[in-house]
Amino acid sequence: MAGFPGGSAWAAAKDIAEGYVLVTERTFGRFDGGQLEQLAFELDRALRDVRGEQPALDDLEAVQARNRRILRLRGALSMLRGYQQRRFRAGMRPKFDGNA
């Protein structure tokens, strides 16, 4: 189990959105299932926050920066979901202790 870059899942999601962290499938390999779900939640939350920001339409730089953040977050979330599906199919299923 490894820690998130930036200290928390929220900080990692913000770093991904700003382009400070480049995400590949190997990025997710060091996390366990719970951490992956937490990161997916925070990526989705960051995506909603970015979509909620509406820059002025005549401010092209702000619109482009917003679109780049959305693109990075959507790409990371899509890659994460694909990684989780492959991991689940490969037999790395979460263990249920009966308390769920």
> Is residue 70 one of the residues assigned to a domain?
yes
Q: How many CB atoms neighbour CB 50 within 10 A?
A: 19
31, part of any domain: yes
**Is position 38 within any domain?**
yes
In a domain, 54, yes or no: yes
Q: What CA–CA distances, in Å, run from 89 to 19, 39, 60, 83, 96? A: 30, 20, 43, 10, 16
51 occurs within a structural domain? yes
Q: What is the pLDDT of residue 7?
A: 82
Task: Please answer whether residues 43 and 80 qualify as being in contact, where contact means their C-beta atoms are separated by less than 8 angstroms.
Answer: yes
Q: Render pLDDT for 68-77 as a digit per residue (tens, 0 to 9).
A: 999 999 999 9
pLDDT over threshold 90, residue 65: yes
Residue 100 lies in a domain: no
**Predicted model pTM:** 0.82
Q: What is the pLDDT of residues 7-51, one digit of tens each?
A: 889 999 999 999 999 999 888 888 888 899 999 999 999 999 999
| 1 inside domain | no
Q: Which range marks the domain in which residue 43 is found? A: 9-89
Split into its structural domains, the chain has a count of 1
**39 in any annotated domain:** yes
